[in-house]
Amino acid sequence: MSAKERDRLKVLHEVRKRHITQKQAGVELGLSERWVRTLLRRVRREGDKALRHRLRGRPSNRKTPEAVKRRVVELFRQKQQAKQWHDYGPTLAAEELAQDYGIGVNRETLRQWLMEAKLWRARRTRIERAHLWRPRRARYGELVQWDTSEHNWLEGRGEKLYLISMIDDATSQLTAHFVRHDSTEENLEQLRRYVEQHGRPVAVYTDKASLFQVAPRAIHHRDAPEQQQSQIGRALVELNIEWIAAHSPQAKGRIERSFKTAQDRLVKGLRRVGAKDLETANAYLEHVFLALWNARFRCPPQLAGDAHRAVPKGMNLDSVLSVRVSRTVTADHTVRWGSVIYRIEREQIRAGMRGARVPLERRRDGSRWMHWQKRVVALERCETPPPALAQRPVKGVVAQVRSAEEKARAKQRRLDGQRQWTEGYRQLRDRPIWQAVRDSPQRAPGLR
């Protein structure tokens, strides 16, 4: 009997003793006089236990049928034994049951069923280090978090892949793509896809990887500019996108949490479709996972409007999102990049090019271009034959073959000489070693 029911029983006993009236009891208990009389009749007929709630101990009308419970638990056990749901949690399993089997079960209910069947073990929540909470940006496109996740996405079914993601800070809208290498070129290509699809964001939020910042060169270096930037940093400046560096992974927690979700749900989705290569993985990512993510986790921004900006007219994205290096033009109007020689077309040659230090760029189609003053000049590859390797003439020296006895005698002579030198060194006291060698009566043959 609960404390409330015991208090109610005390008041009813006072009514039976005629210490208070039924009306006063109703006011004190918050009940009507009619319900007070009903409770008094039950107490006279059944005793004190009559005040217990009549539904106590009875199954709820909203309880899931036992047949559904047995079917769900058995289905989860079969999937787990078949290594399909062996790493599924109750949340994702409840979604899969509703989507594929039409069984709607609350995730907490499923969690209790699985713990009862010894298929899931409750985990104690860890108290991690607390970080200051940063509110979301107000408008869509004000800040984009950008990072790469290295994970076993295909679970050994294919090549190693990297996931490059960009998530909007205000809405959590996700843009991602699988690549084979976490390189400057792949990240520039991901920036191109984002700009072509959404526009130029106001700022990007990344870590301090070498892709976004470089170690400063000495001030006397000929290629040391006033502002030393990486390839991506230079492209962001030309696109007028602010770069903000995060001092810790927790600072860009929004994209880190998206990676945690992707490493759980995206991996299982790729397993379901049997993805084994880059093309299949990107097809599932773009057409299934990103659509589900943006439909479920995308939230409306605080302020209406889009902060993305269109690419200015006349700006060549191929040139901006290229890899640039600095080279010197030789006397024959050629430049060298990666052991390959490129020449400037005759019509593009201008005075002052010889000996000048010029920037070169490699675009995504593999073409090379040179910046000269305010123009961009195309370069043509020089097809030079590989240099022939000079072969030295081999002198006709006939190697002398010694017998085993001769080899043994030579080895013994070597050992005797080493022993005599060691004995002479041991006899040395306060004299220099050259004097001990000069005055030694016996010297090893063959030693000078």
Residue 320 CB-half CA count within 13 A: 18
What is the predicted pLDDT for the residue at 51?
80
Report the amino acid identity of residue 348.
Q
* CA separation for the pair 54, 57 (Å, rounded): 8
* CA separation for the pair 379, 224 (Å, rounded): 24
Is there a domain that residue 326 lies in? Answer: yes
What is the predicted pLDDT for the residue at 287?
94
* CA separation for the pair 209, 188 (Å, rounded): 14
Is there a domain that residue 393 lies in? Answer: no
Is there a domain that residue 138 lies in? Answer: no
What is the predicted pLDDT for the residue at 308?
92
* CA separation for the pair 232, 210 (Å, rounded): 10
Is there a domain that residue 307 lies in? Answer: no
Is there a domain that residue 61 lies in? Answer: no
- Shared domain for 73 and 209, answered yes or no, is no
Task: Please give the chain's pLDDT, 448 residues, in tens.
Answer: 777 878 888 888 888 888 889 898 888 888 899 988 998 888 888 888 878 777 777 878 888 888 888 899 998 988 888 888 888 888 888 988 888 888 888 899 998 989 988 888 877 766 556 566 778 899 999 999 999 999 999 999 999 999 999 999 999 999 999 999 999 999 999 999 999 999 999 999 998 888 888 766 555 555 555 567 888 999 999 999 999 988 888 888 899 999 999 999 999 999 999 999 999 999 999 999 999 999 999 999 999 889 999 998 888 899 999 998 889 998 888 898 888 889 888 888 888 888 889 889 999 888 899 998 888 888 988 876 656 555 565 555 555 677 888 888 888 888 888 888 777 766 666 656 666 566 665 554 544 4
- For residue 168, the SS3 value is strand
What is the predicted pLDDT for the residue at 289?
94
- Shared domain for 182 and 252, answered yes or no, is yes
What is the predicted pLDDT for the residue at 131?
60
What is the predicted pLDDT for the residue at 186?
93
Give the domain range for residue 197: 143-214+228-296
Name the residue with tokens 């009813």.
12
- DSSP at 347: G
What is the predicted pLDDT for the residue at 169?
93
- Shared domain for 289 and 260, answered yes or no, is yes
> CA end-to-end span of the chain, whole Å?
112
- Shared domain for 195 and 269, answered yes or no, is yes
What is the predicted pLDDT for the residue at 400?
65
* CA separation for the pair 112, 115 (Å, rounded): 5
- Shared domain for 187 and 242, answered yes or no, is yes
Is there a domain that residue 135 lies in? Answer: no
333's CB contacts (< 8 A; 6+ apart) are 343, 344, 349, 353, 354
Q: Could you tell me the sign of the dihedral formed by the alpha carbons of 84, 86, 89, 93, in that order?
A: positive
- For residue 372, the SS3 value is strand
- Shared domain for 16 and 103, answered yes or no, is no
376's CB contacts (< 8 A; 6+ apart) are 319, 361, 369, 370
323 alpha-carbon distance from chain centroid: 24
Is there a domain that residue 242 lies in? Answer: yes
Is there a domain that residue 20 lies in? Answer: yes
What is the predicted pLDDT for the residue at 388?
57
* CA separation for the pair 111, 93 (Å, rounded): 10
Phi and psi angles of residue 41, each rounded to the nearest 5 degrees, phi first: -65, -40
- Shared domain for 77 and 187, answered yes or no, is no
> CA nearest 172: which of 198, 144, 194?
144
- Shared domain for 345 and 205, answered yes or no, is no
- Shared domain for 209 and 349, answered yes or no, is no
* CA separation for the pair 421, 207 (Å, rounded): 65
* CA separation for the pair 239, 188 (Å, rounded): 12
Give the strand pairing for 242-245 and 340-344.
unpaired
| Number of structural domains in the chain | 5
- Shared domain for 177 and 200, answered yes or no, is yes
- Shared domain for 290 and 413, answered yes or no, is no
340-344 contacts: CB < 8 A, separation 24 or more?
Answer: 340/381, 340/382, 341/381, 341/382, 341/384, 342/368, 342/379, 342/380, 342/381, 342/382, 343/379, 343/380, 343/382, 344/370, 344/377, 344/379, 344/380
The CATH number given to whatever domain includes residue 203 is 3.30.420.10
* CA separation for the pair 368, 377 (Å, rounded): 9
Radius of gyration (C-alpha) of the chain in whole angstroms:
41
- Shared domain for 159 and 288, answered yes or no, is yes
The CATH number given to whatever domain includes residue 366 is 2.40.50
